[in-house]
Amino acid sequence: MPEMNLVQSINNALDLEMQRDSDVVLLGEDVGKVGGVFRCTQGLYDKFGEDRVMDTPLAETGIIIGMALYGLRPVPEIQFADFIFPAFDQIVSEAAKFRYRSGGEYTVPMVIRTPVGGGIRGGHYHSQSPESLFIHTAGLTVICPSNPYDAKGLLTSAIRSNDPVLFFEPKRVYRAVKMDVPEEQYTVPIGKAKVVREGEGVTVIAWGAMLYEALTAAEEVAKKGVDAEVIDLRTLWPLDIDTIVESVKKTGRVVIVHEAPKTCGFGAELLSLITEKAFLHLEAPPKRVTGWDTPFPYTLENEYLPLAHRITPALLETAAY
């Protein structure tokens, strides 16, 4: 079994799905000859040709939706999630609603891949985490894997889905995390979270690159007698609320970690659902450790990100309440 990083596992998933299904096509800015700005599509242009791996103009509004309505399964890449907003109307007003408006007669089998988050000193135009804007829109599936194994399996599932999927890739861990990944095809189910660290003292919920910060913080508080359970959401929507509630009922405490700003971030919705479904099991006020309600800074990136040194005191305070 080969060892892969996130870039390699994504490339492998695309390769295998393009071999399996001739309707799968790739398009985006520099995805062809260059192989994408992060090289996730490297080699696929040479293997499948310009008819299936297409470089597009710098115009995000022209990259979204069309091919999926003509029977293909496009996987468009937006170079950075920060650049997705020119296509926002096409995604939320058209792609997300086509199944509903057609009474189920038409679907939009499309996976929009895009790098998200900070950690590469990209500043405010290359570091945003806009997941909550799309989770708010009925009809969209939103995925954010944290590791190569899940990335390949979830991307495969997403490409085979008949609904539009936002596939957010945490650029901070593109090459920072390696693990054994099967060469053959496999899927990871959409809508299923994973408990990556068992514990009984406090539940920590995270996704993407922040999962590793949450795990680091969990190891730190373990030295002080706090046993943290860490959940990797993997799929943000549809949400695996059952796994979350089961954990919170066990621990009685919860801390949510995400890179996006706190106000109206996805953590707020998670807390609402936890309060509705497990209120009587809570033994401490829930906490959120998030990005700040400011534009993403360049020089103060490590002050903005909810790194382990900010998560650790939140876990200790919640456990001690």
End-to-end CA distance of the chain: 46
Residues 260-298 as b or e (16 or more Cβ within 10 Å = b): bbbeebbbebbbeebeeebeeebebebbbbbbeeeebbe
Structure tokens given for 302: 């490590």
Structure tokens given for 187: 């899927």
| Residue 258 is among the residues annotated as catalytic for this protein | no
| Residue of 126, 136, 281, 309 marked active site | 126
Report d(CA 219, CA 227) in Å as an integer: 9
Whether 173 and 149 have beta carbons less than 8 Å apart is answered as no
Report d(CA 200, CA 218) in Å as an integer: 12
Residue 165 has φ and ψ, to the nearest 5°, of -125, 135
Active site members: 126
